[in-house]
Amino acid sequence: MKGRIVRVGRKGVVVIPVDVRESLGIGEGSLLALEVSGGAIVLKPLKPLRVKLGARVQEIVRESKREELELEESVRPGH
């Protein structure tokens, strides 16, 4: 992606061009990590932790349901 020139507005507001936002999945309310490195400002999109936990939560729910079914089967008459 080519470099761009953007203007700093009131209160230090900088508009990130729409194509850059879209390519990085940045929308209104997104969080960005800001670093100063070698005289440059570096912005990196932050991915919410809850998104990363999605698969783990599903795994925990499946495991819990499996344990519940095993417990129900073990207390059924005739077992």
The predicted-structure confidence for 35-71, as pLDDT tens digits, reads as follows: 999 999 999 998 766 656 677 788 888 899 988 888 8
Provide the whole-model pTM: 0.54
Lowest mean pLDDT across 4-18, 32-46, 63-77:
63-77
Q: Which of the four CATH numbers 2.10.260, 2.60.120, 2.20.25, 2.30.30 does domain 10-45 have?
A: 2.10.260
Domain definitions of the chain by residue range: 10-45, 48-79
Q: Would you say residue 13 has pLDDT above 70?
A: yes
DSSP string, 6-56: --B-GGG-BPPPHHHHHHHT--TT--EEEEEETTEEEEEEPPPHHHHHHHH
State the Cα–Cα distance between residues 72 and 5, nearest whole angstrom.
65
Residue pair 24/10 in contact (Cβ under 8 Å)? The answer is: no
